[in-house]
Structures are given as C-alpha cells and as structure tokens.
Copies of this chain bind each other. A is one copy, B any other.
Amino acid sequence: MASSRGVRHDSMRARNLAVVLGEIRAAGPLTRAALAELTGLTKTTVSKLVSDLLDAGVVVENGAVRDGERGRPGVAVSLSGHRIATLGLEVNVDYLAACVVDLTRTVRVRRVRPADNRGSRPEAILADLRELAGQAVADAERAGLRITGAALAVPGPVQDGLLRNAPHLGWRDIGVAGQLGLHDLACEVDNEANLAALGELWFGSGQSDFLYVSGEIGIGAGLVVDGSLFRGTYGLAGELGHVVVVPDGPACRCGGRGCLEVYAGQDALLGAVVPMRGRVAALPGAAAALPAASASIDGLVSLLEAGDRAALAAAGQAGEALGLALTSAVHLLDPGTIVLGGVFARLFPWVERPASDVLSARLRQMRRTPPRVAMSAIGADAAVLGAAGLAMQRVLADPAGVLAL
C-alpha cells in the first residue's frame, strides 16, 4: 500500500517505452505493426518509441521479414546485445564471482576467484570483490558495452539492503552494498537463493513459475510467480532449509529441531547422516559415517556412481526429507514447478525419485497433478547470473529512467 505517485506525461512515455521493450523481449523479434497490435498503441506511437529505443542502442533492426502473404514486409526489431549490459556479483564461502551479461542474455564476461572466506572480515573480502568487479567492468567496456546496473548475491538473508546473518562467513548486519562502494553504479543486494531463482528464470529452461531450491551449504529457495520473485514481508521468504520435517528431530543451528537442513544439508550428506525415525536407522550401516572419500560433494557423487550403500542411503534420505519439506512448501506457496539447483542438481539422479514419490503420494488428493520436479538447467553460476538478471530487470522495467532516454 505504498503511496503511489501520479502519472504525468513523461511517465506515460516511460511506461510505454517499457511496454514496447518488454514485448520485444518476451515475444522475440517483432515488427512495428505487430508491436502496435500487441500493445494496443497505434503504429505511429510505436514507430516513435521504437525509434528512441534504436537510438539508445537497446534494440536493433534485423532486416525484413516476409512471414506471410502479400503486402509490404515489416522490419523486425529485437534486443541488441551490443550496447547495454549489467554486472552480477557474488560473495560465497569459497569463492568470489563476477559476470557481465548483455540484453540478449549472453554472458560476456565471467570471472571467478577462489577464496576461503570463512570467518573473514567483510572489508577485506569486499575490497577483493571490488577489484574483481572492476576487472569485469573493464573487460566489458573494452568490448564496447555500457554497464547500467549491478546486483550482488550473498549467502544469507537480506533485509533493507543489510545482510542480516551469513553464518558461514561469520558476518552479521553488514551494509554490503555501501562497503563495496561501486562508484556511480547502483548495486542491489539479495539472498543467494533468490538470485539463483532469477538466474534460472533468465538463463534456465524458460519457465516463469517455479520454486528454485538452492542447495548450497544451507538450503534456501526462491519462488518465482509469473516472472517475478516473491520476497515476503521482510524479504525473508523461502527459507526452505528450516521447514519442519520431524518435530522432535535433532537440533539445528537455527535453534529449531528436525529442520530440513538437518537431514539434507551438506553436513548431513557428507557423512553425518542423521536417521529420521525408523527409516534410515533400519537400514544397517546407513547411520554410520560415510567413507572418507565423501568429504566433498564430488566425493559423494563418486561414491553414489560406484553404488556405495551408505551414500545411496544418505542421498535417499535427503530426498525423502526434501520431499516432505516440499510438500509443505507446495501447500503454502503453490509453485508452478520445482527446480532443484545447487547440490541437489548434482545429486538429482539419486534425490529426485524419493522426493517426487513423497510429494506425489502426499498431494494426490489435493491436486490432479503434483508439481513436476526438474533439474536446474544452469550450474553453479546460478546466483551470479541471476544477480546480473536482476539488474537487467531494472533496465527492462524502466528503460527511460536507466538510460536517460
């Protein structure tokens, strides 16, 4: 219920530019005539707007199309990747990353710097990141791109631009964007899971309604409904990792008991398998520690591929627990489909079946078809890419404002 401002002539024009640009983005190359049809504006107006967009280098004409019968062929316009681009950044536990993405969703620059950021001082890490960002921007500018915005993914909940609590970095209440200090470049900050969901939206399978499950060291999720992110009241929605799976299960670092993270977090997967009552415990040996080879997710995948029994049990249990948490999530959030990312994408062959089975068994009566559980189409870069995508959303939502048209 934020008090909204009135519409003036310039905002009318700004809005129409955004509408036209949005239609070009959504429906591929389009002629001016088709745009007039789609937007309800007249051909005259569309012509003028498109002309401005061409001047700004946001769109290009790609030659005549004679898609149909007789009559003068139209000239299709589509997004241009030559001028406008945005910067995505990420701080995570063991690396820093930056990328530059153009309007056509092509990744133009990608830089990753391994680092051990556990328990680090924010100032030092953010100085490193600023340097990395500077390199990425320089690369992009050499390619003739203009960076119009940036966003930063961090491994923890963000409220009002403040990183509340990143347990694995040991950071609390850090005004990240301010300390990063990108000169002249607005930089939004958001949760890794939220931005990874936007990554899936922009660079993934092309759906616009899904719940992205981000299994990194913690487990988070980002819900996309009709192409936009649901953030909840304080921006803290989607904490799938702490959904209750077993009410009197083992303690979780969040203060609760039997959260999803206890059963399907990285610690649980990498050896510290916690039996869910009467299930895994019944499989002899499953509750024991896994062989040493599973000290990393790579190791675990090798064990699973080799058919190691304890590893299979661990993955199966994680899948079941995930299915239980997703059942609650489906009832509460009503996602279109479910996309497993991060660790769960790597473990997909072993995790998907148990999770789907739990989900469909429990949802059978309530929905004719339970949401499909799919694997994320993009890999570990989801969050950085999504950060660039978020910055790009700003351009598309208000090209006039961002580009000073």
Contact B365 A6, beta carbon cutoff 8 Å: no
Pairwise interchain contact B239-A331, C-beta atoms closer than 8 A: yes
Q: Which chain B residues border A390 with CB–CB below 8 Å?
A: none
Task: List residues of chain B with CB within 8 A of the CB of A333.
Answer: 232, 237, 332-333
Are A334 and B226 closer than 8 Å at their CB atoms?
A: no
Closest residue on chain B to residue A258 by CB atoms: B247
- Does any Cβ of B come within 8 Å of A364's Cβ? yes
Contact B19 A327 (CB under 8 A): no
Q: Which residues of B contact A242 (CB under 8 A)?
A: 327, 331, 362, 366
Q: Which of A6, A23, A236, A361 has the most CB of B within 10 A?
A: A6
Say if the beta carbon of A292 comes within 8 Å of chain B. Answer: no
> Which of chain B's residues have a CB closer than 8 A to the CB of A226?
1-2, 233
B208 touching A362, Cβ below 8 Å: no
Determine the chain B residues whose CB is within 8 A of the CB of A254 once the complex forms.
Answer: 362-363, 365-366
Let me know if A38 and B3 touch, CB within 8 A. Answer: yes
Q: Does A174 contact B (CB under 8 A)?
A: no
**Copies of this chain held together in the complex:** 2
Report if A235 contacts B (CB, 8 A). Answer: yes
With A and B bound together, what is the CA distance between A332 and B257 in angstroms? Answer: 16
Q: Which residues of B contact A12 (CB under 8 A)?
A: 7, 9, 12
Instruction: Say yes or no: A328-B243 contact (C-beta < 8 A), given A8-B41, A23-B3, A41-B8.
Output: yes
| Residues on the B chain within 8 Å of A336, using CB | 233-234
Complex-state Cα separation, A2 to B283, whole angstroms:
50
Task: Bits for A1-44, please: 1 = Cβ < 8 Å to B, else 0.
Answer: 11111111100100110011011001100000000001111000
Contact present for A256 and B363 (CB under 8 Å): yes
Least Cβ–Cβ distance between A238 and chain B, in angstroms: 7
B1 touches A227 (CB 8 A): yes
A41 and chain B: residue at smallest CB distance = B6
Query: Closest CB of chain B to A199's CB: distance in Å?
Result: 16
Which chain B residue has the least Cβ–Cβ distance from A39? B6
CB <8 Å contact, B26 and A1: yes
- Tell me the residues in window 276-333 of chain A with beta carbons closer than 8 Å to chain B beta carbons: 276-278, 324-325, 327-329, 331-333
Q: Are A239 and B332 in contact (CB under 8 A)?
A: yes
CB <8 Å contact, B41 and A236: no
Q: Which A341-391 residues have C-beta < 8 A from chain B? A: 361-367
Q: CB < 8 Å: which of B221, B228, B244 contacts A362?
A: B244
Quick check: B235 and A334 within 8 Å, CB to CB? yes
Question: Of residues A237, A243, A325, A328, which shows the largest number of chain B Cβ atoms within 10 Å of its Cβ?
Answer: A328
Interface size class of A (residues with CB under 8 A): 35 or more
- Cβ of A377 to closest chain B Cβ, rounded Å: 18
Give every chain B residue within 8 A of A165 (Cβ-Cβ). Answer: 366
Q: Does A209 contact B (CB under 8 A)?
A: yes
Residue A135 is within 8 A (CB to CB) of chain B in the complex: no
Q: By the criterion CB–CB under 8 Å, are B365 and A1 in contact?
A: no
Indicate if the CB atoms of B332 and A6 lie closer than 8 Å.
Answer: no
- A72 and B332 CA atoms in complex are apart in Å by 54
- What's the Cα separation between A315 and B257 when bound, in Å? 22
Q: Which residue of B lies closest to A45 (CB)?
A: B6
The reply to whether B364 and A234 contact each other, CB–CB distance below 8 Å, is no
Cα-based distance from A89 to B306 in the complex (angstroms): 62
Which chain B residue has the least Cβ–Cβ distance from A38? Answer: B3
Q: A250 at the A/B interface (Cβ < 8 Å)? A: no
Name the residue of chain B whose CB is nearest to the CB of A232. Answer: B334
Cross-chain contact A334 with B4 (CB below 8 angstroms):
no
Q: Is the CB of A332 within 8 A of B366?
A: no
Please give 8 more A-B residue pairs, beta carbons under 8 A apart, in addition to A1-B228, A221-B332: A2-B226, A6-B20, A6-B39, A234-B336, A242-B331, A255-B362, A255-B363, A328-B332
Interface residues of A (CB under 8 A from B): 1-9, 12, 15-16, 19-20, 22-23, 26-27, 38-41, 45, 157, 165, 208-209, 221, 225-228, 230-248, 253-257, 276-278, 324-325, 327-329, 331-336, 361-367
